[in-house]
Amino acid sequence: MECVFGMVGKRFALVVADTSAVNSILVHKSNEDKIMVLDSHKLMGASGEAGDRAQFTEYVQKNVALYHFRNGIPLTTKAAANFMRGELATALRKNPYMVNIVLAGYEKETGPSLYFIDYIATLHKVEKAAFGYGSYFSLAMMDRHYHPDMTVEEAIKLAEQCIEEIRSRLVVAPQNFVIKIVDKDGAREHSWRRTTKD
Amino acid sequence: MARYDRAITVFSPDGHLFQVEYALEAVRKGNAAVGVRGTDTIVLGVEKKSTVKLQDSRSVRKIVSLDDHIALACAGLKADARVLINKARIECQSHRLTVEDPVTVEYITRYIAGLQQKYTQSGGVRPFGLSTLIVGFDPYTGVPSLYQTDPSGTFSAWKANATGRNSNSMREFLEKNYKETSGQETIKLAIRALLEVVESGGKNIEVAVMTKEGLRQLEEAEIDAIVAEIETEKAAAEAAKKGPAKET
């Protein structure tokens, strides 16, 4: 039931995630932030097993920070994506992390980029990505309306359309969504789309 | 005495650990380093040997960040420093991962000192040949701290301290001239202490300033400007001393 999706626009990238924390029929909370700010210019939207999600994303965040201190420059988005994939792959045949990740980043040299990393260590560099049951609806919506070099307004409108589709067509749709954006000014929260207050 | 410095684990009859003392000798031969704690600023200054002309000085950073709010300068064997700094950086992130909190300055100093001590009590290894000056702000109280560790693994907090070459002269100067300072005054005090033992000029000194916002390495031009200010102040003080004497 967890929905995470993302897309690349003109000199920015967007990641949208639902904010529900669910255990069978109980909703623990509807303001769980699943999009981690990895460093100043990277966003990591993660879905899957809650414990694995926290464990893996925090582990990656600290290692990205360590690289920065050791080498004086931050990891590129591509490097971070490959690091994550490597960790997932190593753990896969012993103690797999059940986490799916949409990684968005911005570099001055290469611009915005988006990576699709699933729990069995698949890595794809993409323009749009989605995970979960919501992906059936958001991917279809994005396939129809996405075009390269969208403005922020166009991308937000498309994200809203995807959220509407998920809300109306998914039987147990999440109540609230958070939208985060990364561009030359850094990674930050953009806005929320709520149906309930928590 | 020669029989008591072979394996580090052996005490001499008069209670010395010679390897540790020899490590301190290595520190005394290392470049001069000074640290001064102010009310809102902590300054680290390190001597830069300017004899190497072809070396790209940007690749030799003597004052390093361990975390966003902690910095370290050292005197002694630089290769040993790399190992300690690497371990400390990992510990800073590991602490953040396990307890979701940044380290305090005291914690990381205790960790580094603990590492240095371990190597004075193990077989077949030698101690780290360096003393460190560790500065930072407590992430919650915002209180600035300056700590020093040495090859024996002891550590303590200081208002101002120096290590490396001619550290005694620098410490004497600091003892005579220390007072509670803030901002630019702290930077000036640190540079004045360093100038006691180092050739004057921006290209012989590396200075970094730690504030609540983080670590800032001073540019050569900035250092030169402050050095010039200090020289004029010194000259003015000299003239004032001589002036009245002439009149009588």
Say yes or no for a CB contact (<8 Å) between B93 and A65.
yes
- So what's the pLDDT on residue B18? 87
**A129: distance to nearest CA of chain B, Å?**
28
* Mean pLDDT computed over A156-185: 95
User: Across the interface, which of B86, B94, B96 has its CB nearest the CB of A70?
Assistant: B86
Q: Is the pLDDT of residue B245 over 70?
A: no
Give the pLDDT of residue A1.
78
Q: Give the mean pLDDT of B10-35.
A: 91
**Is the confidence at residue B100, as pLDDT, over 60?**
yes
Shortest Cα distance from B67 to chain A (angstroms)? 7
Provide the ipTM.
0.85
Type of residue numbered A124: H
Structure token digits, residue B89: 């950086």
B 2-31 residues with CB < 8 A to A: none
**DSSP-based helix, strand, coil % in chain A, nearest 5:** 35, 35, 30
CA pair distance A146, B177, nearest whole angstrom: 68
Average pLDDT over residues B69-94: 96
Ranges of beta strands (E only) in A118-195 are 123-126, 128-131, 177-183, 186-193
Structure tokens, B126: 């030698």
List Cα–Cα distances, B181 to B159, B160, B234, in angstroms: 11, 11, 19
pLDDT surpasses 80 at B203: no
Q: Give the list of residues 6+ apart from residue A79 with CB closer than 8 angstroms, or none.
A: none
Per-residue pLDDT of A18-56, as tens digits, reads 999 999 899 999 999 999 999 999 999 999 998 999 999
The mean pLDDT of A141-167, rounded to a whole number, is 96
Mean pLDDT of A51-67: 95
Strand partners of residue B145: B136
- The pLDDT score that the predictor gives to residue A121 is 96
To test the contact with chain B by mutation, choose from A69, A71, A73 the residue with the greatest count of B C-beta atoms within 10 A, namely: A69
Residue B126 to residue B2: CA distance in whole angstroms: 16
Q: What pLDDT does B117 receive?
A: 94
pLDDT over 80 at A196, yes or no = yes
- Cβ–Cβ gap B94/A62 under 8 Å: yes
Q: Which of B72, B85, B93 to mutate to test the interface with A (most CBs of A within 10 A)?
A: B93
Q: Phi/psi of residue B152, each to 5°?
A: -80, -15
The distance of B69 to chain A (nearest Cα, Å) reads: 12
Q: Is B176 exposed, middle or buried (0-12, 13-18, 19+ CB in 10 A)?
A: exposed
Contacts with B248 (C-beta within 8 Å, 6 or more apart), sequence order: none
The mean pLDDT of B219-243, rounded to a whole number, is 88
pLDDT single digits (tens) A171-184: 999 999 999 999 99
Residue B2's pLDDT is what?
57
Note whether A82 contacts B: Cβ–Cβ < 8 A: no
A66, A70, A73: best mutation site toward chain B, by most B Cβ within 10 Å?
A: A66
**Nearest residue on chain A to B65, alpha-carbon basis:** A69
How far apart CA A178 and CA A156 sit, in angstroms, is: 11
| High-pLDDT (> 90) share of chain B, % | 70
* pLDDT value of residue A42: 97
The pTM of the whole model exceeds 0.80: yes
Share of chain B above pLDDT 70, in %: 93
pLDDT higher than threshold 70 for residue B176: yes
Query: What pLDDT is stored for residue B103 in this prediction?
Result: 96
User: Could you tell me how many residues make up chain B?
Assistant: 248
pLDDT of residue B122: 83
- Lowest mean pLDDT: which of B12-21, B77-86, B195-204? B195-204
